[in-house]
Amino acid sequence: MARADGRTPDRLRPVKITRNWLDNAEGSVLVEFGGTRVLCAATVQDSVPRWRKGSGLGGWVTAEYAMLPRSTNTRSDRESVRGRIGGRTHEISRLIGRSLRACVDTKALGENTILLDCDVLQADGGTRTAAITGAYVALADAIRWMRKRRMTPGDPLIRSVAAVSVGVVNDVPMLDLCYTEDVAADTDMNVVVTGTGDFVEVQSTAEGTPFDRGQLDRLLDLAVAGCAELSELQRQALA
C-alpha cells in the first residue's frame, strides 16, 4: 500500500527550483519534482504574433514543451527527425501556454511576447505540471527583467500559478504521481491552481473505470493542497 518512495498519499516529492540555470535567457529555471527535471527558459521578444499586432489586445505569452529523446526509460525518436510534432507534445504545449497566460495582464505587457521553452531533461511522471510550476518562476524573472528595462506599460504579473498531478492508484487517491504510479492509475488528473486557490485548468481522465463525483472531489482536494505548497515554494524561490 506504500508508495514507491515511501511517501504518504498526500505528500509531494522533494521539489527543487534553481533559478538562472542559463546565462543568457531572460528567465530560466531548472525545476525538479523528484526524478523529473525540466529546464524552463523564458525568452522576451519585442513583437507579437501577426494576428495580434495592433489589435489593442496587447502582448502574448506562449510555450513550447518537448522531451529529450533519452529523458525516458526507453528512448523515443526525436520529433525533429520524424518531421512532425506529436499530439501529446502539442497538447501539453497548449496547456502550459494557457496556464501561464492566466498570470499575465496582456495589456500591461505591451506588444511583447514571452515564450517559455520547457524541455524535459529527465521524465519520472508529472512533467507537464513540473513544467508549469517552473515556467511560472521563469516568467516572473523575465517580467522583472523587462520592468528593469521599462519595456512594459504596466506590471503584467497579476497572479501566480502552480500545477500538480493527482490520481487514483489501487483505489487510493494520491498526490504528485511518479511514473510507475501514473502507469498504474485508474483516474489521472492535472490541476492548475492560482496562488489564491482558484482553478485555471482541471483535466481529468478515466484511464480505466469511469469515476464518480465523490472521487472527483477527493482528487480536487488533494490537488488544491499540493498546489498551495508549490505556490509557497515558488514564493520562496523568487524572494
Q: Contact residues for a copy of itself (CB under 8 A)?
A: 22-25, 28, 35, 39, 41, 43, 45, 64, 66, 68-73, 75, 78-91, 93-94, 98, 102, 115, 117, 119, 121-122, 124, 159, 194, 197-206, 209-213, 216, 220
Partners of 118 in beta bridges:
40, 65
Nearer to a copy of itself, 54 or 210 (CB): 210
10 Å CB burial of residue 87 (0-12, 13-18, 19+) is exposed
In angstroms, the Cα distances linking 75 to 29, 53, 69, 122, 123 are 24, 41, 5, 11, 11
Nearer to a copy of itself, 159 or 239 (CB): 159
Is residue 128 annotated as involved in ligand binding? yes
- Least separation in angstroms between CB 121 and a copy of itself: 7
Strand, helix or coil at 99? Answer: helix
Dihedral class, residue 58 (left if φ above 0, else alpha if ψ from -120 to 50, else beta): left
Is residue 126 annotated as involved in ligand binding? yes
- Least separation in angstroms between CB 224 and a copy of itself: 8
- Least separation in angstroms between CB 82 and a copy of itself: 8
Is residue 127 annotated as involved in ligand binding? yes
DSSP H or E stretch at residue 227: helix 213-238
Nearest-angstrom CA–CA distance, 161 and 164: 10
- Least separation in angstroms between CB 148 and a copy of itself: 18
Binding residues for phosphate, as ranges, are 88, 126-128
Binding residues, as ranges, are 88, 126-128
